[in-house]
């Protein structure tokens, strides 16, 4: 086959890919029209029956075209997730026109290529407007800029599938004067990044934020005795590695490429599926439509009577409210007392939640609502791909 034939074939592929993008943009515009209908008729954004029927039809049609069900399902689950999350974001903007201005000043940890920056871009890609990014060197700085009006939103990593909860953020939420207004998850592919031509065997020092050190602990144990230097962000770890011979940093391949570091080892995390969940905080809470899946996060300090925590949790059960997270942290100033961070799969505006919060008073010293926000973790509809 001559190069001309190959170039012609690639040209045809380029044409088809461009046509696909035009159709995807058109599909997204139409799905925005569907949101208008759902707003006018108070319909839930998600219609899983419709999605299932759609997928079954497309898988059947795909098979007639020689496309296997697994491939068709994967492609359209991605399209559906994007469609639903865009619709939810549109609905929320419609409900909170003042809160979501045309410019979003967002603080997050680190700088170019940090995982927080990647998560920020993912979250705000569905929220039209000018994004002004403000990199910070600590979690306190992130919330501080939101509290004093220098930023509209702050993005904080709160848990990771390899290292678990990020306690510093939970402790910060106990006193920061911010509300949780959103969440976003992002995959985290940790790589070992070093100056060009650096061999693994030459390394004497590793730079990283505490989280990558925790998430890659097993790989690092296998490297033997190396000096570990903790940095306040992945971005600063990369800069340190750039300026230190025979050293490396842990970060994303993209972050390394941005500063001229090369990947000398990838897939370092203890868990192959390594994802971080970030919360988005703002000075004021948002109203959240009952037409979308919602979470409510709160902090509670139970009374000291035996069984108070169990009694408090039973209230959620009695009101049929599902807990998706329960985290305990030391109560500041009372080292042997705990506060409990709770994520509810519920909308604060629901009467069940209001009644439960009222009944909680009997078993708690205090309950502080951290925020009610759109849940971004979409459960894909299950379809037969056999
Ligand atoms: C577009 C709609 O809203 C959602 C998105 C869908 C899609 O992108 O095809 C299908 C069903 C809904 O979950 C709809 O209800 O038709």
Write out 48-92 in H/E/C secondary structure: HHHHHHHHHHHHHHHHHCCCCHHHHHHHHHHHHHHHHHHHHHHHH
Per residue in 3-16, pLDDT tens? 999 999 999 999 99
CA of 57 to the centre of ligand 1 (A): 14
CA of 81 to the centre of ligand 1 (A): 9
CB atoms within 10 A of CB 13: 10
What token pair was written down for 93? 């903007």
What residues contact 228, with CB distance under 8 A and at least 6 apart? 205, 206, 208, 213, 220
Closest ligand 1 atom to the C-alpha of 48?
Answer: 13
Q: Is the pLDDT of residue 175 over 90?
A: yes
Q: Which of the four pLDDT bands, split at 50, 70 and 90, describes residue 295? A: very high
Pocket, ligand 1, Cβ cutoff 6 A: 31, 34, 46-47, 50-51, 54, 80, 83-84, 87
What token pair was written down for 69? 């069900």
Q: Is the pLDDT of residue 129 over 90?
A: no
How confident is the model at residue 64, as a pLDDT?
97
Which mutation among 24, 38, 47 tests ligand 1's pocket best, with the greatest number of atoms within 8 A of CB? Answer: 47
Q: Is the pLDDT of residue 1 over 80?
A: no
**Alpha-carbon span 26 to 363, nearest angstrom:** 53
Task: Give the Å distances, CA to CA, from 208 to 177, 199, 237, 239, 276.
Answer: 29, 18, 5, 10, 16
**Alpha-carbon span 20 to 122, nearest angstrom:** 22
- Helix or strand (DSSP H, E) at 238: helix 234-242
Mean of the pLDDT values across residues 93-114?
85
Coil vs helix vs strand at 327 = strand
How confident is the model at residue 63, as a pLDDT?
96
Give the rounded percent of residues in the chain with a pLDDT score beyond 90. Answer: 81
Per residue in 194-233, pLDDT tens? 999 999 999 999 999 998 999 999 999 999 899 999 998 8
Which mutation among 25, 30, 41, 51 tests ligand 1's pocket best, with the greatest number of atoms within 8 A of CB? Answer: 51
Per residue in 246-288, pLDDT tens? 999 999 998 899 899 999 999 999 988 889 999 999 999 999 9
Q: Is the pLDDT of residue 377 over 90?
A: no
Give the rounded percent of residues in the chain with a pLDDT score beyond 70. Answer: 100
Which mutation among 84, 86, 380 tests ligand 1's pocket best, with the greatest number of atoms within 8 A of CB? Answer: 84
Q: Is the pLDDT of residue 83 over 80?
A: yes
Mean of the pLDDT values across residues 53-65?
97
**Alpha-carbon span 298 to 347, nearest angstrom:** 12
Closest ligand 1 atom to the C-alpha of 43?
Answer: 15
Mean of the pLDDT values across residues 350-369?
95
How confident is the model at residue 386, as a pLDDT?
77
Taking all residues of the chain, what is their mean pLDDT, rounded to a whole number? 93
Q: Is the pLDDT of residue 100 over 80?
A: no
How confident is the model at residue 162, as a pLDDT?
85
What residues contact 44, with CB distance under 8 A and at least 6 apart? 38, 291, 292
Per residue in 323-358, pLDDT tens? 999 999 998 888 788 899 999 999 999 999 999 999
Local structure of residue 287 (DSSP, 8 states): P
Q: Which of the four pLDDT bands, split at 50, 70 and 90, describes residue 102? A: confident
Q: Is the pLDDT of residue 309 over 90?
A: yes
What token pair was written down for 311? 């009694």
How confident is the model at residue 186, as a pLDDT?
92
Among 18-27, 114-123, 243-252, 277-286, the least confident range: 114-123
Q: Is the pLDDT of residue 384 over 90?
A: no
């Amino acid at each position: 086959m001559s190069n001309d034939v190959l170039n012609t074939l690639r040209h045809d592929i380029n044409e088809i890919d461009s046509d696909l993008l035009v159709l995807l943009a058109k599909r997204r515009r139409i799905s925005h029209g569907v949101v208008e209908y759902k707003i006018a008729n108070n319909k839930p954004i998600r219609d899983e029956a419709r999605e299932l029927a759609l997928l079954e039809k497309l898988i059947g049609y795909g098979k007639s075209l020689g496309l296997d069900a697994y491939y068709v399902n994967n492609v359209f689950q991605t399209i559906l997730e994007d469609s639903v999350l865009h619709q939810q974001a549109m609905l929320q903007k419609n409900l909170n026109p003042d809160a979501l201005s045309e410019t979003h000043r967002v603080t997050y940890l680190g700088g170019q290529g940090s995982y927080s920056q990647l998560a920020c871009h993912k979250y705000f890609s569905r929220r039209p407007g000018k994004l002004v990014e403000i990199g910070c060197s600590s979690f306190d700085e992130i919330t501080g800029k939101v509290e004093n009006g220098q930023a509209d939103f702050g993005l904080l990593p709160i848990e990771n599938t390899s290292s678990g909860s990020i306690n510093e953020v939970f402790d910060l939420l106990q006193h920061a004067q911010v509300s949780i207004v959103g969440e976003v998850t992002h995959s985290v592919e940790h790589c070992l990044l070093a100056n060009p031509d650096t061999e693994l065997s030459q390394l004497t020092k590793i730079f990283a934020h505490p989280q990558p050190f925790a998430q890659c602990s097993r790989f690092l144990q296998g490297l033997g005795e190396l000096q570990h230097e903790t940095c306040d962000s992945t971005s600063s770890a990369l800069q340190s590695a750039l300026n230190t011979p025979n050293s490396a940093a842990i970060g994303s391949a993209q972050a390394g490429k941005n500063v001229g570091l090369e990947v000398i080892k990838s897939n370092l995390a203890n868990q192959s599926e390594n994802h971080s969940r970030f919360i988005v905080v703002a000075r004021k809470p948002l109203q959240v439509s009952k037409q979308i899946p919602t979470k409510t996060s709160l902090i509670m300090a139970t009374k000291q009577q035996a069984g108070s925590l169990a009694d408090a949790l039973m209230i959620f059960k009695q009101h049929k409210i599902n807990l998706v997270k329960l985290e305990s942290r030391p109560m500041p100033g009372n080292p042997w007392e705990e506060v409990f961070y709770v994520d509810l799969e519920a909308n604060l505006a629901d009467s069940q939640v209001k009644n439960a919060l009222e009944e909680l008073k009997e078993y708690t010293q205090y309950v502080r609502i951290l925020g009610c926000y759109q849940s971004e973790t979409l459960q894909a509809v299950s379809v037969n791909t056999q």
